[in-house]
């Protein structure tokens, strides 16, 4: 279990407990947190669960798999802190993670 903070583009924060084994995307969708669309349902086939992760946490996450950057090319305003939240698997190690949402997903 990890406490994850989802921060909307307007600054509104949502802190929820997400079970190990779920993805950061699923944590948002299951808790009705706005700002993460996840149109493809987590198959890394769209770029609508895009989040920004600040450096301190970014470096602690498991590295991007092949294909994630390709999808991020198609996200809304990606930068070097961008991740697809469907590719971040939750574990105890992620307790305290903050993710920032882009202004919009599409």
Q: Which residues bind another protein (CB under 8 A)?
A: 37, 39-41, 43, 45-48, 69-70, 73-74, 76-80, 106
Q: Between residues 73 and 92, which has the closer beta carbon with respect to another protein?
A: 73
* Least distance between another protein and beta carbon 61 (Å): 18
Q: Which two tokens stand for residue 93?
A: 């190690």
Contact of 16 with 23, CB cutoff 8 Å: no
Closest CA to 87 of 102, 70, 96, 103: 70
C-alpha to C-alpha distance for 22 and 31, rounded to whole angstroms: 12
Residue whose C-alpha is closest to residue 72's, from 62, 87, 82:
82
Closest approach of Cβ 70 to another protein, in Å?
4
Closer of 17 and 70 to another protein (Cβ): 70
- Closer to another protein at the Cβ: 10 or 79? 79
Minimum distance between the CB of residue 103 and another protein, rounded to whole angstroms? 8
């Amino acid at each position: 279990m990890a406490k994850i903070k989802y921060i909307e583009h307007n600054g509104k924060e949502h802190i929820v407990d997400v079970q190990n084994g779920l993805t950061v995307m699923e944590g948002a969708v299951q808790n009705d947190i706005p700002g993460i669309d996840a149109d493809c349902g987590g198959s890394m086939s769209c770029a609508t669960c895009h989040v920004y992760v600040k450096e301190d946490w970014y470096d602690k996450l498991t590295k991007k798999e092949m294909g994630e950057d390709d999808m991020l090319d198609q996200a809304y305003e990606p930068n070097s802190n961008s991740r697809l939240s469907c590719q971040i698997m939750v574990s105890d190690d992620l307790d305290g993670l903050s993710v920032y949402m882009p202004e919009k997903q599409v």
